[in-house]
A and B are shown apart, each in its own frame.
Chain A
Amino acid sequence: MTPFAFHVARDCAEALSLGAASGARFIGGGTNLVDLLRQNVESASKLVDVSRLAANIHEVGNGALLVDASVKNSALAAHPMVRGRYPMLSRALLAGASAQIRNMATVGGNIMQRTRCAYFYDVDGARCNKRQPGSGCDAIGGFNRYHAILGVSNDCVATHPSDMCVALAALAALVHLVGPEGERTVPLAEFHVLPGASPQIETVLRPGEMITAIELPPATPAMANSEYRKVRDRSSYAFALVSVAAGLEVVGGKIAEARIALGGVAAKPWRATRAEAALRGLPATRANFLSAAEEELTKAQPLEGNAFKIGLVQRTTAAVLESLAGERA
Protein backbone atom coordinates (compact mmCIF):
# COMPACT_ATOMS: atom_id res chain seq x y z
CA MET A 1 0.00 0.00 0.00
CA THR A 2 1.24 3.47 -0.82
CA PRO A 3 0.76 5.98 2.02
CA PHE A 4 -2.46 7.98 2.25
CA ALA A 5 -4.01 10.50 4.60
CA PHE A 6 -7.22 9.55 6.40
CA HIS A 7 -10.04 11.97 7.21
CA VAL A 8 -13.43 11.37 8.73
CA ALA A 9 -16.14 13.50 7.12
CA ARG A 10 -18.65 14.88 9.62
CA ASP A 11 -21.16 16.05 7.04
CA CYS A 12 -21.77 16.02 3.32
CA ALA A 13 -20.22 19.43 2.68
CA GLU A 14 -17.03 18.43 4.46
CA ALA A 15 -16.92 15.15 2.52
CA LEU A 16 -17.19 17.00 -0.79
CA SER A 17 -14.54 19.50 0.20
CA LEU A 18 -12.11 16.78 1.35
CA GLY A 19 -12.96 14.61 -1.66
CA ALA A 20 -12.11 17.36 -4.15
CA ALA A 21 -8.35 16.79 -3.70
CA SER A 22 -6.46 14.97 -6.43
CA GLY A 23 -6.14 11.27 -5.63
CA ALA A 24 -8.78 11.42 -2.88
CA ARG A 25 -11.19 8.50 -2.54
CA PHE A 26 -14.34 8.11 -0.50
CA ILE A 27 -14.38 5.05 1.74
CA GLY A 28 -17.50 3.40 3.18
CA GLY A 29 -16.94 0.02 4.80
CA GLY A 30 -13.76 -0.46 2.79
CA THR A 31 -14.41 -4.15 2.12
CA ASN A 32 -13.39 -3.78 -1.52
CA LEU A 33 -11.25 -0.63 -1.45
CA VAL A 34 -8.92 -1.67 1.41
CA ASP A 35 -8.30 -4.97 -0.36
CA LEU A 36 -7.54 -3.24 -3.68
CA LEU A 37 -5.19 -0.76 -1.98
CA ARG A 38 -3.35 -3.59 -0.24
CA GLN A 39 -2.95 -5.48 -3.53
CA ASN A 40 -1.68 -2.29 -5.19
CA VAL A 41 -4.45 -2.54 -7.77
CA GLU A 42 -5.54 0.90 -6.59
CA SER A 43 -3.84 3.77 -4.84
CA ALA A 44 -5.06 6.90 -3.08
CA SER A 45 -3.51 10.07 -1.69
CA LYS A 46 -6.32 10.52 0.78
CA LEU A 47 -9.23 8.45 2.08
CA VAL A 48 -12.36 10.34 3.08
CA ASP A 49 -14.41 8.21 5.48
CA VAL A 50 -18.08 8.79 4.64
CA SER A 51 -19.34 5.85 6.71
CA ARG A 52 -20.18 8.11 9.68
CA LEU A 53 -22.55 10.35 7.74
CA ALA A 54 -26.29 10.01 8.41
CA ALA A 55 -27.47 6.39 7.96
CA ASN A 56 -31.27 6.51 7.94
CA ILE A 57 -33.97 4.62 6.10
CA HIS A 58 -37.14 6.63 5.85
CA GLU A 59 -40.34 6.83 3.87
CA VAL A 60 -40.89 10.00 1.86
CA GLY A 61 -44.21 11.60 0.96
CA ASN A 62 -45.29 9.49 -2.02
CA GLY A 63 -44.48 6.14 -0.41
CA ALA A 64 -40.96 5.90 -1.78
CA LEU A 65 -38.20 4.71 0.55
CA LEU A 66 -35.04 6.79 0.87
CA VAL A 67 -31.96 4.87 2.04
CA ASP A 68 -28.88 6.87 3.01
CA ALA A 69 -25.64 5.76 1.35
CA SER A 70 -24.00 4.98 4.71
CA VAL A 71 -26.65 2.43 5.75
CA LYS A 72 -24.98 -0.93 6.29
CA ASN A 73 -25.96 -3.81 3.99
CA SER A 74 -27.06 -5.88 7.01
CA ALA A 75 -29.29 -3.07 8.31
CA LEU A 76 -30.99 -2.62 4.94
CA ALA A 77 -31.58 -6.37 4.57
CA ALA A 78 -33.18 -6.59 8.03
CA HIS A 79 -35.37 -3.48 7.75
CA PRO A 80 -39.07 -4.40 8.14
CA MET A 81 -40.22 -2.18 5.25
CA VAL A 82 -37.66 -3.70 2.89
CA ARG A 83 -38.54 -7.25 3.94
CA GLY A 84 -42.24 -6.56 3.47
CA ARG A 85 -42.38 -4.36 0.38
CA TYR A 86 -39.23 -5.25 -1.56
CA PRO A 87 -38.39 -8.84 -0.59
CA MET A 88 -36.10 -9.29 -3.61
CA LEU A 89 -33.83 -6.60 -2.14
CA SER A 90 -33.57 -8.24 1.28
CA ARG A 91 -32.99 -11.58 -0.40
CA ALA A 92 -30.29 -10.18 -2.69
CA LEU A 93 -28.44 -8.55 0.21
CA LEU A 94 -28.62 -11.72 2.31
CA ALA A 95 -27.23 -13.75 -0.61
CA GLY A 96 -24.18 -11.49 -0.80
CA ALA A 97 -20.77 -11.97 0.86
CA SER A 98 -20.72 -13.03 4.54
CA ALA A 99 -22.37 -11.69 7.70
CA GLN A 100 -19.14 -9.92 8.68
CA ILE A 101 -18.83 -8.18 5.31
CA ARG A 102 -22.53 -7.22 5.25
CA ASN A 103 -22.02 -5.58 8.66
CA MET A 104 -19.15 -3.49 7.27
CA ALA A 105 -20.30 -2.72 3.73
CA THR A 106 -22.39 0.37 3.07
CA VAL A 107 -25.07 0.81 0.42
CA GLY A 108 -22.99 3.43 -1.40
CA GLY A 109 -19.89 1.27 -1.25
CA ASN A 110 -21.74 -1.77 -2.56
CA ILE A 111 -22.71 0.23 -5.65
CA MET A 112 -19.16 1.59 -6.01
CA GLN A 113 -17.35 -1.75 -5.65
CA ARG A 114 -15.24 -2.43 -8.71
CA THR A 115 -16.37 -4.50 -11.65
CA ARG A 116 -13.66 -7.10 -11.48
CA CYS A 117 -12.19 -10.52 -12.13
CA ALA A 118 -9.18 -12.50 -10.93
CA TYR A 119 -6.99 -11.10 -13.73
CA PHE A 120 -7.79 -7.56 -12.57
CA TYR A 121 -6.32 -8.49 -9.17
CA ASP A 122 -3.23 -10.20 -10.59
CA VAL A 123 -0.93 -7.18 -10.78
CA ASP A 124 2.26 -9.15 -11.41
CA GLY A 125 0.94 -11.97 -13.56
CA ALA A 126 -1.81 -10.79 -15.90
CA ARG A 127 -2.69 -8.14 -18.42
CA CYS A 128 -5.84 -6.16 -17.70
CA ASN A 129 -7.28 -3.25 -19.68
CA LYS A 130 -9.17 -2.08 -16.63
CA ARG A 131 -6.08 -1.90 -14.43
CA GLN A 132 -3.79 -0.68 -17.19
CA PRO A 133 -5.71 0.67 -20.19
CA GLY A 134 -4.42 -0.68 -23.50
CA SER A 135 -2.41 -3.53 -21.97
CA GLY A 136 -4.75 -6.32 -23.11
CA CYS A 137 -7.14 -8.77 -21.45
CA ASP A 138 -6.00 -12.18 -20.24
CA ALA A 139 -9.52 -13.24 -19.27
CA ILE A 140 -10.59 -13.50 -22.92
CA GLY A 141 -9.00 -16.80 -23.86
CA GLY A 142 -8.19 -17.51 -20.21
CA PHE A 143 -10.21 -19.05 -17.36
CA ASN A 144 -13.51 -17.29 -17.91
CA ARG A 145 -16.11 -19.40 -16.14
CA TYR A 146 -17.24 -16.37 -14.10
CA HIS A 147 -17.22 -13.77 -16.86
CA ALA A 148 -19.82 -11.80 -18.78
CA ILE A 149 -22.00 -12.91 -21.67
CA LEU A 150 -23.95 -9.69 -22.24
CA GLY A 151 -22.66 -6.24 -23.16
CA VAL A 152 -19.09 -7.48 -23.44
CA SER A 153 -16.34 -5.81 -25.46
CA ASN A 154 -13.05 -6.96 -26.94
CA ASP A 155 -11.33 -5.19 -24.05
CA CYS A 156 -13.11 -6.48 -20.96
CA VAL A 157 -15.45 -9.29 -19.92
CA ALA A 158 -15.49 -8.78 -16.12
CA THR A 159 -18.78 -8.76 -14.19
CA HIS A 160 -20.12 -6.44 -11.51
CA PRO A 161 -20.40 -8.76 -8.52
CA SER A 162 -23.07 -6.95 -6.48
CA ASP A 163 -26.24 -8.85 -5.60
CA MET A 164 -27.90 -5.77 -4.11
CA CYS A 165 -27.55 -3.83 -7.36
CA VAL A 166 -29.36 -6.53 -9.35
CA ALA A 167 -32.41 -6.12 -7.13
CA LEU A 168 -32.08 -2.32 -7.27
CA ALA A 169 -32.07 -2.47 -11.07
CA ALA A 170 -35.24 -4.59 -11.12
CA LEU A 171 -36.87 -2.16 -8.66
CA ALA A 172 -35.94 0.85 -10.83
CA ALA A 173 -34.16 2.46 -7.89
CA LEU A 174 -32.69 5.94 -8.24
CA VAL A 175 -29.18 6.89 -7.12
CA HIS A 176 -28.95 10.31 -5.47
CA LEU A 177 -25.65 12.08 -6.10
CA VAL A 178 -24.04 15.29 -4.92
CA GLY A 179 -20.92 16.86 -6.35
CA PRO A 180 -19.15 20.13 -7.00
CA GLU A 181 -21.84 21.01 -9.55
CA GLY A 182 -24.76 20.20 -7.24
CA GLU A 183 -27.24 17.40 -6.82
CA ARG A 184 -28.66 15.01 -9.41
CA THR A 185 -30.28 11.59 -9.60
CA VAL A 186 -29.44 8.71 -11.95
CA PRO A 187 -31.41 5.47 -12.38
CA LEU A 188 -29.38 2.63 -10.85
CA ALA A 189 -29.71 0.69 -14.11
CA GLU A 190 -27.90 3.55 -15.89
CA PHE A 191 -25.33 4.23 -13.17
CA HIS A 192 -22.89 1.53 -14.29
CA VAL A 193 -21.67 1.60 -17.88
CA LEU A 194 -20.63 -1.15 -20.28
CA PRO A 195 -16.88 -1.56 -20.85
CA GLY A 196 -16.59 -0.67 -24.56
CA ALA A 197 -13.06 0.48 -25.34
CA SER A 198 -12.55 2.08 -21.91
CA PRO A 199 -13.29 -0.56 -19.26
CA GLN A 200 -11.48 1.47 -16.61
CA ILE A 201 -14.58 3.72 -16.58
CA GLU A 202 -17.29 1.84 -14.71
CA THR A 203 -19.89 4.44 -13.74
CA VAL A 204 -21.30 7.82 -14.76
CA LEU A 205 -19.97 9.34 -11.54
CA ARG A 206 -18.13 12.62 -12.15
CA PRO A 207 -14.91 13.67 -10.38
CA GLY A 208 -15.60 14.67 -6.77
CA GLU A 209 -19.16 13.35 -6.88
CA MET A 210 -20.52 10.95 -4.27
CA ILE A 211 -23.61 8.87 -3.63
CA THR A 212 -25.81 10.27 -0.85
CA ALA A 213 -28.80 7.90 -1.01
CA ILE A 214 -30.80 5.45 -3.03
CA GLU A 215 -34.50 5.86 -3.59
CA LEU A 216 -36.82 2.88 -3.91
CA PRO A 217 -40.00 3.80 -5.80
CA PRO A 218 -43.39 3.25 -4.11
CA ALA A 219 -43.93 -0.52 -4.01
CA THR A 220 -46.06 -2.03 -6.77
CA PRO A 221 -47.65 -5.51 -6.46
CA ALA A 222 -44.82 -6.92 -8.59
CA MET A 223 -42.22 -5.48 -6.22
CA ALA A 224 -43.98 -6.96 -3.20
CA ASN A 225 -44.28 -10.36 -4.93
CA SER A 226 -40.60 -10.69 -5.69
CA GLU A 227 -37.66 -13.02 -5.20
CA TYR A 228 -33.90 -13.25 -5.75
CA ARG A 229 -32.21 -16.44 -6.76
CA LYS A 230 -28.43 -16.83 -6.90
CA VAL A 231 -26.72 -19.80 -8.53
CA ARG A 232 -23.14 -20.30 -7.39
CA ASP A 233 -20.36 -22.87 -7.03
CA ARG A 234 -20.96 -23.28 -3.30
CA SER A 235 -24.16 -22.64 -1.40
CA SER A 236 -22.96 -19.61 0.57
CA TYR A 237 -20.27 -16.93 0.52
CA ALA A 238 -19.50 -17.06 -3.21
CA PHE A 239 -20.06 -14.75 -6.16
CA ALA A 240 -22.91 -15.57 -8.51
CA LEU A 241 -22.45 -17.59 -11.64
CA VAL A 242 -25.80 -16.11 -12.54
CA SER A 243 -28.50 -14.51 -10.43
CA VAL A 244 -32.04 -13.36 -11.09
CA ALA A 245 -34.04 -10.68 -9.30
CA ALA A 246 -37.66 -10.83 -10.37
CA GLY A 247 -41.09 -9.55 -9.43
CA LEU A 248 -44.41 -10.56 -10.95
CA GLU A 249 -48.01 -9.42 -10.93
CA VAL A 250 -50.54 -11.72 -12.53
CA VAL A 251 -54.12 -10.54 -13.02
CA GLY A 252 -56.74 -12.96 -14.35
CA GLY A 253 -54.06 -15.40 -15.48
CA LYS A 254 -52.24 -12.75 -17.55
CA ILE A 255 -48.99 -11.01 -16.66
CA ALA A 256 -49.71 -7.41 -15.69
CA GLU A 257 -46.16 -6.57 -14.68
CA ALA A 258 -42.87 -8.46 -14.80
CA ARG A 259 -39.65 -7.03 -13.39
CA ILE A 260 -36.46 -8.92 -14.16
CA ALA A 261 -32.79 -8.14 -13.67
CA LEU A 262 -29.80 -10.44 -14.08
CA GLY A 263 -26.51 -10.67 -12.19
CA GLY A 264 -23.25 -12.40 -13.04
CA VAL A 265 -23.75 -11.83 -16.75
CA ALA A 266 -22.46 -8.30 -17.47
CA ALA A 267 -20.29 -5.42 -16.31
CA LYS A 268 -23.45 -3.95 -14.80
CA PRO A 269 -26.64 -5.22 -13.19
CA TRP A 270 -28.62 -6.19 -16.29
CA ARG A 271 -32.24 -5.07 -16.40
CA ALA A 272 -33.94 -7.55 -18.74
CA THR A 273 -36.19 -5.04 -20.47
CA ARG A 274 -36.69 -7.20 -23.58
CA ALA A 275 -37.91 -10.12 -21.49
CA GLU A 276 -40.13 -7.86 -19.42
CA ALA A 277 -41.74 -6.39 -22.54
CA ALA A 278 -42.16 -9.80 -24.13
CA LEU A 279 -44.09 -11.09 -21.12
CA ARG A 280 -46.60 -8.26 -20.76
CA GLY A 281 -50.17 -9.54 -21.25
CA LEU A 282 -49.16 -13.18 -21.76
CA PRO A 283 -50.34 -16.13 -19.66
CA ALA A 284 -47.95 -16.89 -16.78
CA THR A 285 -46.63 -20.18 -18.11
CA ARG A 286 -43.19 -21.79 -18.01
CA ALA A 287 -43.04 -21.82 -21.80
CA ASN A 288 -43.59 -18.06 -21.93
CA PHE A 289 -41.03 -17.45 -19.20
CA LEU A 290 -38.42 -19.52 -21.05
CA SER A 291 -38.99 -17.81 -24.39
CA ALA A 292 -38.87 -14.35 -22.79
CA ALA A 293 -35.51 -15.19 -21.21
CA GLU A 294 -34.33 -16.52 -24.57
CA GLU A 295 -35.39 -13.24 -26.16
CA GLU A 296 -33.22 -11.35 -23.65
CA LEU A 297 -30.21 -13.47 -24.51
CA THR A 298 -30.34 -13.32 -28.32
CA LYS A 299 -27.30 -11.02 -28.31
CA ALA A 300 -25.31 -13.01 -25.76
CA GLN A 301 -21.63 -13.48 -26.64
CA PRO A 302 -20.34 -16.37 -24.55
CA LEU A 303 -16.68 -17.26 -24.14
CA GLU A 304 -15.22 -20.74 -24.05
CA GLY A 305 -15.69 -21.13 -20.32
CA ASN A 306 -19.07 -19.52 -19.70
CA ALA A 307 -21.44 -20.62 -22.50
CA PHE A 308 -23.32 -22.62 -19.84
CA LYS A 309 -24.60 -19.32 -18.46
CA ILE A 310 -27.05 -18.92 -21.37
CA GLY A 311 -29.05 -21.99 -20.44
CA LEU A 312 -28.58 -21.32 -16.74
CA VAL A 313 -30.02 -17.81 -17.03
CA GLN A 314 -33.02 -19.09 -18.96
CA ARG A 315 -33.83 -21.90 -16.53
CA THR A 316 -33.21 -19.78 -13.43
CA THR A 317 -35.36 -16.94 -14.75
CA ALA A 318 -38.18 -19.34 -15.62
CA ALA A 319 -37.94 -21.09 -12.25
CA VAL A 320 -38.13 -17.84 -10.28
CA LEU A 321 -41.07 -16.51 -12.32
CA GLU A 322 -42.90 -19.83 -12.04
CA SER A 323 -42.46 -19.75 -8.29
CA LEU A 324 -43.77 -16.16 -8.15
CA ALA A 325 -46.75 -17.03 -10.39
CA GLY A 326 -47.56 -19.99 -8.16
CA GLU A 327 -47.54 -17.93 -5.00
CA ARG A 328 -49.86 -15.43 -6.65
CA ALA A 329 -52.32 -18.01 -7.96
Chain B
Amino acid sequence: MTITINGSDYAVPYDSRVSLLDMLRERLSLTGTKLGCNQGACGACTVLLDGERVLSCLTLAAQADGRDVLTIEGMQGADGSLHPLQKAFIEHDGLQCGYCTPGQICSAVAMARELRRGDPSHVTANLAAGPDGPTREEIRERMSGNLCRCGAHNGIVEAIEEMLGREAA
Protein backbone atom coordinates (compact mmCIF):
# COMPACT_ATOMS: atom_id res chain seq x y z
CA MET B 1 0.00 0.00 0.00
CA THR B 2 2.41 2.69 -1.18
CA ILE B 3 2.33 5.56 -3.65
CA THR B 4 5.53 6.65 -5.37
CA ILE B 5 5.65 10.44 -5.34
CA ASN B 6 8.50 12.20 -7.15
CA GLY B 7 10.54 9.01 -6.79
CA SER B 8 9.93 8.32 -3.09
CA ASP B 9 7.47 5.83 -1.60
CA TYR B 10 4.75 6.89 0.84
CA ALA B 11 2.11 4.86 2.66
CA VAL B 12 -1.48 5.24 1.49
CA PRO B 13 -3.44 7.09 4.22
CA TYR B 14 -5.55 4.88 6.47
CA ASP B 15 -8.62 7.09 5.99
CA SER B 16 -9.86 6.28 2.50
CA ARG B 17 -11.61 9.65 2.20
CA VAL B 18 -8.28 11.48 1.84
CA SER B 19 -7.81 12.87 -1.66
CA LEU B 20 -4.46 12.68 -3.39
CA LEU B 21 -4.39 16.47 -3.22
CA ASP B 22 -4.87 16.55 0.57
CA MET B 23 -2.29 13.81 1.01
CA LEU B 24 0.26 15.86 -0.94
CA ARG B 25 -0.43 19.18 0.74
CA GLU B 26 -1.51 18.34 4.29
CA ARG B 27 0.40 15.16 5.02
CA LEU B 28 3.57 15.45 2.92
CA SER B 29 3.90 19.27 2.87
CA LEU B 30 4.21 19.15 -0.91
CA THR B 31 2.31 22.41 -1.20
CA GLY B 32 3.32 23.17 -4.77
CA THR B 33 0.15 21.46 -5.95
CA LYS B 34 -2.67 23.92 -5.34
CA LEU B 35 -6.20 23.58 -3.99
CA GLY B 36 -8.50 25.65 -6.19
CA CYS B 37 -12.14 24.68 -6.62
CA ASN B 38 -11.82 21.19 -5.10
CA GLN B 39 -14.49 20.01 -7.55
CA GLY B 40 -12.69 19.40 -10.82
CA ALA B 41 -13.44 22.70 -12.49
CA CYS B 42 -10.17 24.68 -12.38
CA GLY B 43 -7.13 22.41 -12.92
CA ALA B 44 -4.97 24.02 -10.17
CA CYS B 45 -4.44 20.58 -8.61
CA THR B 46 -3.21 18.88 -11.80
CA VAL B 47 -0.49 16.24 -11.28
CA LEU B 48 0.81 13.37 -13.40
CA LEU B 49 -0.36 9.86 -12.50
CA ASP B 50 1.66 7.18 -14.30
CA GLY B 51 2.67 9.96 -16.70
CA GLU B 52 -0.86 11.17 -17.54
CA ARG B 53 -2.35 14.41 -16.25
CA VAL B 54 -5.18 14.03 -13.73
CA LEU B 55 -6.93 16.14 -11.11
CA SER B 56 -5.61 15.29 -7.64
CA CYS B 57 -8.70 16.82 -5.97
CA LEU B 58 -10.99 14.22 -7.56
CA THR B 59 -8.53 11.35 -7.06
CA LEU B 60 -8.73 9.48 -3.78
CA ALA B 61 -5.23 8.70 -2.51
CA ALA B 62 -6.34 5.06 -2.31
CA GLN B 63 -6.91 5.09 -6.08
CA ALA B 64 -3.23 5.94 -6.57
CA ASP B 65 -2.01 2.91 -4.60
CA GLY B 66 0.93 1.30 -6.41
CA ARG B 67 1.14 4.15 -8.91
CA ASP B 68 3.64 6.81 -9.78
CA VAL B 69 2.83 10.47 -9.06
CA LEU B 70 4.80 13.43 -10.37
CA THR B 71 4.11 16.89 -8.92
CA ILE B 72 5.57 20.31 -9.64
CA GLU B 73 8.24 19.59 -6.97
CA GLY B 74 9.45 16.72 -9.16
CA MET B 75 9.72 18.78 -12.33
CA GLN B 76 13.01 20.51 -11.57
CA GLY B 77 16.37 19.21 -12.72
CA ALA B 78 18.66 17.12 -10.49
CA ASP B 79 20.72 20.25 -9.83
CA GLY B 80 17.64 22.15 -8.67
CA SER B 81 17.35 24.16 -11.87
CA LEU B 82 13.93 25.12 -13.18
CA HIS B 83 12.14 23.01 -15.80
CA PRO B 84 12.46 24.62 -19.25
CA LEU B 85 8.73 25.33 -19.23
CA GLN B 86 9.01 27.10 -15.87
CA LYS B 87 11.69 29.35 -17.38
CA ALA B 88 9.48 29.98 -20.41
CA PHE B 89 6.56 30.94 -18.13
CA ILE B 90 8.78 33.58 -16.50
CA GLU B 91 10.06 34.89 -19.85
CA HIS B 92 6.58 35.16 -21.38
CA ASP B 93 4.73 36.48 -18.31
CA GLY B 94 2.67 33.31 -18.20
CA LEU B 95 1.53 34.21 -14.70
CA GLN B 96 0.52 37.05 -12.45
CA CYS B 97 -0.41 35.72 -9.02
CA GLY B 98 1.07 32.30 -9.85
CA TYR B 99 -1.56 30.23 -8.09
CA CYS B 100 -2.60 28.25 -11.18
CA THR B 101 1.00 27.91 -12.45
CA PRO B 102 1.99 24.52 -10.96
CA GLY B 103 -1.16 22.99 -12.46
CA GLN B 104 -0.54 24.72 -15.78
CA ILE B 105 3.05 23.41 -15.90
CA CYS B 106 2.14 19.82 -15.01
CA SER B 107 -0.76 19.90 -17.48
CA ALA B 108 1.36 21.29 -20.33
CA VAL B 109 4.19 18.81 -19.79
CA ALA B 110 1.74 15.91 -20.15
CA MET B 111 -0.05 17.67 -23.01
CA ALA B 112 3.22 17.82 -24.97
CA ARG B 113 3.41 14.04 -24.74
CA GLU B 114 -0.17 13.66 -25.96
CA LEU B 115 0.66 15.84 -28.97
CA ARG B 116 3.80 13.84 -29.75
CA ARG B 117 1.72 10.67 -29.55
CA GLY B 118 -0.67 12.14 -32.14
CA ASP B 119 -3.75 12.08 -29.90
CA PRO B 120 -6.53 14.14 -31.51
CA SER B 121 -8.34 16.99 -29.75
CA HIS B 122 -11.71 18.68 -30.17
CA VAL B 123 -10.21 21.13 -32.68
CA THR B 124 -8.19 18.60 -34.70
CA ALA B 125 -9.56 18.94 -38.23
CA ASN B 126 -8.60 15.50 -39.51
CA LEU B 127 -9.49 12.92 -36.89
CA ALA B 128 -7.74 10.02 -38.64
CA ALA B 129 -4.53 11.92 -39.39
CA GLY B 130 -4.27 13.53 -35.94
CA PRO B 131 -3.20 17.02 -34.91
CA ASP B 132 -1.59 19.31 -37.44
CA GLY B 133 1.28 20.30 -35.14
CA PRO B 134 1.26 22.45 -32.00
CA THR B 135 -0.88 25.32 -33.27
CA ARG B 136 -2.17 27.98 -30.85
CA GLU B 137 -5.68 26.66 -31.40
CA GLU B 138 -4.60 23.13 -30.41
CA ILE B 139 -2.74 24.42 -27.34
CA ARG B 140 -5.69 26.53 -26.17
CA GLU B 141 -8.16 23.68 -26.54
CA ARG B 142 -5.86 21.14 -24.89
CA MET B 143 -5.19 23.49 -21.96
CA SER B 144 -8.86 24.40 -21.40
CA GLY B 145 -8.93 22.38 -18.18
CA ASN B 146 -6.57 24.86 -16.53
CA LEU B 147 -8.12 28.21 -15.69
CA CYS B 148 -6.15 31.38 -14.93
CA ARG B 149 -8.20 34.02 -13.12
CA CYS B 150 -5.49 36.64 -13.71
CA GLY B 151 -5.97 36.22 -17.43
CA ALA B 152 -2.37 35.28 -18.28
CA HIS B 153 -3.57 32.84 -20.93
CA ASN B 154 -1.79 34.56 -23.83
CA GLY B 155 1.56 34.36 -22.02
CA ILE B 156 0.83 30.77 -21.03
CA VAL B 157 0.18 29.78 -24.64
CA GLU B 158 3.36 31.57 -25.76
CA ALA B 159 5.44 29.80 -23.10
CA ILE B 160 4.06 26.43 -24.18
CA GLU B 161 4.65 27.29 -27.83
CA GLU B 162 8.27 28.00 -26.99
CA MET B 163 8.69 24.66 -25.20
CA LEU B 164 7.07 22.74 -28.06
CA GLY B 165 9.14 24.66 -30.60
CA ARG B 166 12.34 23.73 -28.77
CA GLU B 167 11.25 20.08 -28.69
CA ALA B 168 10.60 20.09 -32.43
CA ALA B 169 13.93 21.79 -33.19
* Interface residues of A, Cβ cutoff 8 Å to B: 1, 3-6, 8, 27, 29-31, 34-35, 37-39, 47, 49, 51, 74, 77-78, 80, 83-84, 87, 90-91, 94-95, 97-101, 103-104, 236-237
Chain A residues with Cβ under 8 A from B124's Cβ? 94
| Alpha-carbon distance between A252 and B151 when the two chains are bound, in angstroms | 52
Q: Check if A94 sits within 8 Å of B145, measured CB to CB.
A: no
Interface string of B29-57 (1 = CB under 8 A from A): 00000000011100100100100111100
A83-B40 in contact given A4-B17, A34-B19, A101-B145 (Cβ < 8 Å)? no
> Of residues 78 to 108 in B, which have CB atoms within 8 Å of A's CB atoms?
107
Q: Check if B62 sits within 8 Å of A236, measured CB to CB.
A: no
Decide yes or no whether B158 CB sits under 8 A from chain A.
no
Q: Check if A84 sits within 8 Å of B128, measured CB to CB.
A: yes
Q: Check if B17 sits within 8 Å of A35, measured CB to CB.
A: no
| B141 nearest in chain A by CB position | A236
| Alpha-carbon distance between A74 and B62 when the two chains are bound, in angstroms | 22
| Alpha-carbon distance between A3 and B146 when the two chains are bound, in angstroms | 30
Q: Check if A1 sits within 8 Å of B53, measured CB to CB.
A: no
Selected contact of B16 from candidates A47, A78, A90, CB within 8 Å: A47
A83-B120 in contact given A100-B43, A103-B52 (Cβ < 8 Å)? yes
Q: Check if B40 sits within 8 Å of A101, measured CB to CB.
A: yes
Chain B residues with Cβ under 8 A from A6's Cβ? 16, 60, 62
Which of B55, B124, B140 has the most C-beta atoms of chain A within 10 angstroms of its own C-beta? Answer: B55
| Alpha-carbon distance between A99 and B144 when the two chains are bound, in angstroms | 8
Chain B residues with Cβ under 8 A from A27's Cβ? 63
Chain B residues with Cβ under 8 A from A94's Cβ? 120-122, 124
Q: Check if B59 sits within 8 Å of A8, measured CB to CB.
A: no
Q: Check if B53 sits within 8 Å of A99, measured CB to CB.
A: yes
Chain A residues with Cβ under 8 A from B58's Cβ? 29-31, 34-35, 101, 104
| Alpha-carbon distance between A30 and B57 when the two chains are bound, in angstroms | 10
| A46 nearest in chain B by CB position | B16
| Alpha-carbon distance between A31 and B57 when the two chains are bound, in angstroms | 9
B2 to chain A, nearest CB (A): 14
Q: Check if A103 sits within 8 Å of B54, measured CB to CB.
A: yes
Q: Check if B120 sits within 8 Å of A51, measured CB to CB.
A: no
| B56 nearest in chain A by CB position | A100
Chain B residues with Cβ under 8 A from A237's Cβ? 144-145
Q: Check if B114 sits within 8 Å of A99, measured CB to CB.
A: yes
Identify 11 residue pairs between A and B in the complex whose beta-carbon atoms are under 8 Å apart, listed by A's number: A6-B60, A8-B65, A27-B63, A30-B59, A34-B58, A47-B16, A51-B63, A94-B122, A99-B145, A100-B55, A103-B52
Selected contact of A95 from candidates B122, B142, B145, CB within 8 Å: B122
Decide yes or no whether B26 CB sits under 8 A from chain A.
no
A2 to chain B, nearest CB (A): 8
Decide yes or no whether B167 CB sits under 8 A from chain A.
no
Chain B residues with Cβ under 8 A from A3's Cβ? 15-17
| Alpha-carbon distance between A200 and B114 when the two chains are bound, in angstroms | 38
Chain A residues with Cβ under 8 A from B59's Cβ? 30, 34, 104
| Alpha-carbon distance between A139 and B117 when the two chains are bound, in angstroms | 43
A150 to chain B, nearest CB (A): 25
Selected contact of A100 from candidates B53, B117, B140, CB within 8 Å: B53
Chain B residues with Cβ under 8 A from A51's Cβ? 63
A10 to chain B, nearest CB (A): 12
| Alpha-carbon distance between A98 and B57 when the two chains are bound, in angstroms | 14
| A227 nearest in chain B by CB position | B127
Chain A residues with Cβ under 8 A from B62's Cβ? 6, 49
Chain B residues with Cβ under 8 A from A47's Cβ? 16, 60
| Alpha-carbon distance between A8 and B121 when the two chains are bound, in angstroms | 31
Chain B residues with Cβ under 8 A from A35's Cβ? 39-40, 58
Q: Check if B60 sits within 8 Å of A99, measured CB to CB.
A: no
| B147 nearest in chain A by CB position | A237
Chain B residues with Cβ under 8 A from A87's Cβ? 127
Chain A residues with Cβ under 8 A from B140's Cβ? 236
Decide yes or no whether B119 CB sits under 8 A from chain A.
yes
Interface string of B62-74 (1 = CB under 8 A from A): 1101000000000
Q: Check if A30 sits within 8 Å of B119, measured CB to CB.
A: no
Decide yes or no whether B23 CB sits under 8 A from chain A.
no
| Alpha-carbon distance between A53 and B43 when the two chains are bound, in angstroms | 27
| Alpha-carbon distance between A95 and B52 when the two chains are bound, in angstroms | 19
Chain B residues with Cβ under 8 A from A1's Cβ? 17
Chain A residues with Cβ under 8 A from B55's Cβ? 31, 100-101, 104
| A6 nearest in chain B by CB position | B16
Which of B63, B124, B142 has the most C-beta atoms of chain A within 10 angstroms of its own C-beta? Answer: B63
